[in-house]
Amino acid sequence: MAMHRFLMAAGLLASAFAVPGMAVAEEAANGHGPVIEAQEWSFAPPFGGFKQGQLQRGYRVYKDICASCHSMRFLSFRNLAEVGGPHFSPAAVEMLASQVQVTDGPDAKGEMFQRPGRPSDRFPSRFANDEAARAANNGALPPDLSLMAKARAGGADYLYALLTGYQQAPAGFDLTQGMQYNTAFAGHQIAMPNPLVDGIVPYTDGTEPTVDNYAKDVSAFLMWSAEPTLEERHKVGARVMIFLFVFAFIMFLAKRAVWERLHRRDHSHTA
């Protein structure tokens, strides 16, 4: 009985390592709930990891498309070096950072000034503040994307479904003026226009520049930005599970040996 309980506890612990977006599919009874289908991701548990090329492409999609409205204020340029590869080598990251102008200061005269960005600087935001962002987007505030993959139920599955879920509103659907119909968004009405069309971002590694690939790549990049230590967590989880199963097996053998001795002793006494 004790061994059975131990194995049940081990199974529960294994389930704790699941990514929230692995299997999310919801359809409200009134037909207006979000529709999110699980996708295959390289970083899926228990042993998954990020693909360097996909993260590099995802950053390109974010930079060229998403950054026009959305900030990533919790990410610094130097974080890109953790992805690695020729596109995100220390020298490449330094060059990327230097392409933006950052307000710094005050200087010796007490004045603020502009300077080229450094790897330690945060990703720049197009808008000076939330009020400016609302004013430029008809009152809607584009959310920061730094932790979006962990902030929304479904994670990367939700982001992919959202980016590929733009459709014509079905007949009889009351779509508010200025809103877009999206199958993955709650209520199916979203203020953000469809940001992706085939060929809008050029890919240089042979990957097809399609909406599907854009959505997958930027969703993977946002998953990495929200949880850059995911691969290490998977490795630690795998080690823990291996240890638990080995420990459970050893305990089973120990229990069996102890009970065999007790059984022989009792048998000899009765004899």
**pLDDT band (50, 70, 90) for residue 25:** very low
Cα atoms found within 13 Å of the Cα of residue 64, Cβ hemisphere only: 15
Question: What's the start-to-end Cα distance of the chain, in Å?
Answer: 29
Kindly compute the dihedral angle of the four CA atoms of residues 170, 173, 179, 180, in this order, to the nearest 10 degrees.
Answer: -20
C-alpha 157, offset from chain centre: 9
Residue 91 pLDDT exceeds 90: yes
Confidence (pLDDT) at 271: 58
d(CA 198, CA 65): 13
Q: Does domain 2-75+122-270 have CATH number 1.10.760.10?
A: yes
Mean pLDDT of 245-253: 85
* Structural contact between residues 181 and 169, judged by C-beta atoms closer than 8 angstroms: yes
Torsion of CA 176, 179, 31, 196, to 10 degrees: 160
**pLDDT attached to residue 31:** 53
Residues 119-131 have pLDDT tens digits of: 999 999 999 899 9
Task: Check whether 260 has a pLDDT greater than 70.
Answer: yes
Instruction: Measure the CA–CA gap between 54 and 160, rounded to whole angstroms.
Output: 14
Band of residue 258 on the pLDDT scale cut at 50, 70, 90: confident
Q: Is 189:175 a contact under the CB 8 Å cutoff?
A: yes
More confident call, 108 vs 260: 108
pLDDT, tens digit (0-9, with 9 covering 90-100), for 46-71: 888 999 999 999 999 999 999 999 99
Q: How do the domains of the chain map onto residue ranges? A: 2-75+122-270
Alpha carbon distance 126, 123 (integer Å): 10
The residue type of 97 is A
Mean pLDDT score across all residues of the chain: 85
Q: How far apart are CA 34 and CA 144, in angstroms?
A: 21
Q: Which pair of tokens denotes residue 224? A: 């990495």
pLDDT at 248: 87
Specify the residue for token string 């004045």.
Answer: 111
Q: Which residues of 247-259 are buried (b: 16+ CB within 10 A; e: fewer)?
A: eeeeeeeeeeeee
